[in-house]
Amino acid sequence: METRVVFQSEQNIDRNVMEEAGRLIRAGELVAFPTETVYGLGGDALNTASSAKIYQAKGRPSDNPLIIHICRFEDIYEICSQVPPQAGKLAQAFWPGPLTMILPKADRVPGETTGGLDTVAVRFPSHPVARAFIEAAGGFIAAPSANVSGKPSPTLAKYVLEDMNGKIPLIIDGGAVGIGVESTIIDLTGREPELLRPGYITREMLSEVLGRVEQDQTMMEAHPTGRPKAPGMRYRHYAPKGELTLVSGEAARVASYINEQCGLAKAEHRKTGVLCTQESLPLYQASVIDSVKSMGSRESQESIARELYRVLRECDDEGLEVIFAESFSDEGLGQAVMNRLLKAAGHRTVEV
């Protein structure tokens, strides 16, 4: 199958492109599209054959449920059997936007979309192209991130093409995404609201609306004793091919440890890389490090979230074998960044 990439600006959405994308979805095909978090791989959420195609294109286990994307709040009633007042409050505060809610599913949502669960993940994205696409496609789009399972989520259309070329007919290219990490997931089906995946909407922000919010304790742990409640959080994710280690401590000490370790790796002819920040860039020694990459500024957690997946993908593109990354505080958006970095590193961490 030939994969076409069509550019769409947020300001000037081409109806013809949206109509074509809508036709493809109704015909049971898949279309990749930009959202404010990461690119999604969309299919008709109410068509079991489309869900099967999504799992196949991603190489994803079919017990890992998909998020259904909607483009009008009211549509939540079409796919959920119960919508508690908390969902309305959260929607008021954060929709459209990077928040996914887990709710009891309505009968018309096929088990193929929800990985056999009787709950469903619902998200109303804010990206104008995503909204226009969902609307043109009938209103209910199942979409995981548009990467092959195990790779970082795509933040640029070129990474979608890398992973999906020949597998899907159309990629809508909306340029670089704004947020860079996947939506926050909150489960509203238990006794207390519970955060299952950290994202741009932080636990503090959720608490301001709901009061107390629990947190899946397995989220940040290296060797969780329980089972993560979001099935996707169980799998090793976002892992570069090289060996990634997170280093925490005072900036100068971190840099000197990393320089030393890279020197040792270099002596064994291994290709080395560092993921650092603008502030610490001058501390690293080009003589022993093949690739020094800034993820953004320590002053802006947003900048780190936005660049994180790009730099992880570049590590593979450049064939880096031994990689070190600086650590961050897990306050606010830092929790989402550290959750992804810890997974990418397989929880390999060093404190200096």
Residue 145 in the binding site for Mg ion (CB under 5 A): yes
SS3 per-residue string spanning 163-198: HHCCCCCEEEECCCCCCCCCCEEEECCCCCCEEEEC
Residue 334's SS3 state is helix
Q: Output the smallest distance, CB 327 to Mg ion, in A.
A: 23
Q: In the complex, what is the shortest distance from the CB of residue 187 to ligand TXA, in angstroms, rounded to a whole number?
A: 6
Q: Which is nearer to ligand TXA, 100 or 294 (CB)?
A: 100
Nearest alpha-carbon partner for 182 in 201, 167, 210, 161: 201
| Cβ-based nearer residue to ligand TXA, 69 or 293 | 69
Find the shortest distance in angstroms from Cβ 35 to ligand TXA: 5
Beta-carbon count within 10 A of 217 CB: 13
In the complex with ligand TXA, the residue whose CB is nearer, 80 or 255, is 80
Long-range contacts of 22-25 (CB under 8 A, 24+ apart): 22/133, 22/136, 22/137, 22/138, 24/169, 24/170, 25/50, 25/137, 25/138, 25/141
Q: Which is nearer to ligand TXA, 47 or 114 (CB)?
A: 114
CA atoms of 240 and 46, how far apart (whole Å): 34
Question: How many residues belong to the site for Mg ion (CB under 5 A)?
Answer: 1
Q: Based on CB atoms, which residue is closest to ligand TXA, 143 or 275?
A: 143
Which of ligand TXA, Mg ion, none binds 35 (CB below 5-8 Å, type-dependent)?
Answer: ligand TXA
Report, in Å, the least distance between residue 75 CB and Mg ion. 23
Which part of the chain contacts Mg ion (CB under 5 A), choosing from 62-70, 99-107, 135-143, 145-153? Answer: 145-153
Residues that bind ligand TXA (CB under 6 A): 35, 37-38, 40, 64-67, 100, 102, 114, 117, 119-121, 123, 143-145, 182-183, 185, 196, 229-233
Q: For the chain, where are the alpha helices, taking DSSP H only?
A: 15-26, 48-58, 76-79, 85-94, 128-136, 157-164, 203-210, 251-267, 301-317, 334-344
Q: State which residue, 119 or 272, has the beta carbon closest to ligand TXA.
A: 119
Residue 239 binding: pick among Mg ion, ligand TXA, none (C-beta 5-8 Å cut-off by kind): none
